[in-house]
Structures are given as structure tokens and as C-alpha cells.
Structure 1
Amino acid sequence: MHNIKLQAESIQLGMYSNIICQILLSHKSLSVFKTVTFSYLIKQNRFLGGKIYTANNSQDIIYKGISLLSGDFDGFCNSVPYIVKAIHLLISKGIVYYENDILKLNTKDFATDSVYEETNFMKKVIEESKTFTDKQFMKEVISNV
């Protein structure tokens, strides 16, 4: 039983590591809390099936993106430790570096297969989130979860 738990954790860490690297490759830099939130949303998006919002949405896009967390408090809270461990693993291996609460990919030549695709809508949400302070963003996430 213990071996199965370790294998499941390894799979979770691998998935989140891939997502984090893809986010940082695409968006250059992002705060830790935003990385945690968007990593979870990108992973969950694959299991949600249909698209609620598209890249054509332009008004209140950040609020619409965060609203995808609505009603998923337990799932989000259960995933946070795996995402934080994945970030720690990427930092300790030198793939990602952390400076002034910002994560950046350490290499420009990073290449990997993307397991979870970031939708155009999510790309817009992540870019728009850069206009929010972490405190503002955290308040919105907490109020939606």
C-alpha cells in the first residue's frame, strides 16, 4: 500500500512539474501563488471536458478564469502540496529559479512534451493576472474557492 502511495505521488509531481515548466516557458515569469493556482486550473481543465470560456472573452477575464475554481475547495487544497513539492523539486534541480517571490525557467532551451495543453483562454488569464498584485489575486482565489 505504501508503495502505491509513493507511485501516485510521483505521478502527481511529474504532471505538475511538466505544467509548471510549460507555464514558465510560455509566460517567462510568474509568482509562486499564481503558478500554484494556474497549475491546478490547467490540470483540471483537461478533466472538465467542455469549455466554459473561450479566448474571445475579454471582459473580466481574470475573474472568469478564477471562477473555474468555484466549488472545488477540497480538490484545490489537496493539490497544493503536490504543486509546492513540484516547484521545490524544479528549484532544487536547477530547472527553475526563485527570486523575489517570482519563478522563472532557468534555461531558454527547455524542451519537453506538453502533457496538459494551456488553452488560449488560460493564456490570456495568466497574462492578465500579471496586472494583479499577489494580495489582490489571493483574495479573489480565496473568495472563489
Structure 2
Amino acid sequence: MKKLKLEVETIQVSIYCEIIMQILIKHKELSVNKMLVFAYLIKKDRLIPRNIYNGNNTQDIIYKCISMLSGDYNEYCNSIEFILKAIHILNKNKLIFIENDVLHSISKTTVERLVYEESMFLEKAIEASKRMTDKQFMKEVTHIV
């Protein structure tokens, strides 16, 4: 049973390593708090595609994006452990670096085929989130979740 749990954890962490690298290669930098939310949403979007919003949405895009977490509090909280472990592994292997709670990509690698590709909606939401402070962002997350 312990071996199975370790295997599941390894798979989860490796998935989040790939998602985090893809986000940082595309967006260059993102705070740790925002990475927790967006990495989870990208994985969730891949496993359970619910195209509620699309790339045409521009009004309140952050709030619409965060609303995708609604009712998913326990699963989101469970995923935080794996996302943080993935960030730690990537940092330790010098693929990313953390400065002032902001993740930056060191790797210049590009991925030809993305397994966990972010939708146009999530891409726009990530870019829009950069104009919002972490405090304000997390306040909205806790309010909606």
C-alpha cells in the first residue's frame, strides 16, 4: 500500500513539474501563489474539460477563472502538496529559480508537444493575473473557493 501511495505521488509531482515548466516557458514568471491556482486549473482542465469560458472572454477574466475552483476546495488543497513538491524539485535541479516569491524559468527548452496545454482562456487569465497583487488574488481565491 505504501509503495502504491509513493507511485501515485510520483506521478502527481511529475505532472505538475511539466505544467509548471510549460507555464514558465510561456509566461516567463509567475508568483508561487498564482502558480498553485493555475497549475491546478490546467491539470483539472485537461482531465475534466469543461469549456465554460473561452478565449473570447475578456470581462472579469480573473474572477471567471477563479470561479472554476468553486466547489473543488478539498481537491485543490490536496493538490497544493504536489505542486509545492514539483516547485521544489524544479528549483533544486536548477530548471527554475525563485526570487521574491516569484518563479522564473532558467531553462530555454521548448516543448514541441504539450501534454497539459493551457486553453486560450487560461492563458489570458494568467497574463491578466500579473496585473493583480498576490494579496488581492488570494483574497478572491479564498472568497470563491
Q: What's the TM-score once normalised by structure 1's chain length?
A: 0.96
Structure 2 match to 1:120: 120
Query: TM-score, normalized by length of structure 2?
Result: 0.96
Which residues in structure 2 correspond to 1:18-29 (within 5 Å)?
18-29=18-29
RMSD: 1.1
Cα distance in 2, alignment partners of residues 121 and 114 from structure 1: 16
Which residue is 2:11 aligned to?
Answer: 11
Any gaps of 5 or more consecutive residues in structure 2? Answer: none
Does the alignment pair 1:74 with 2:69? no
SS at match of 1:69: coil
Q: Whole-Å Cα distance in 2 between the matches of residues 7 and 113 of structure 1? A: 25
Q: Which runs of 4+ in 1 moved over 6 A?
A: none
Kept in 2, the 8 Å contact 1:16–1:82? The answer is yes
- Cα offset, 1:46, TM superposition: 1.5
Seen in structure 2, the aligned counterparts of structure 1 residues 37 and 81 have a Cα distance that, compared at 3 Å, is: same
% identical aligned pairs: 51
**1:41 and 2:41 are equivalent in the alignment:** yes
Matches within 5 A, 1:123-142: 123-142=123-142
Local SS of the residue matching 2:30: strand
Which residue in 2 is equivalent to 1:87?
87
Q: Out of 47-56 and 112-121, give the one that drifted further.
A: 112-121
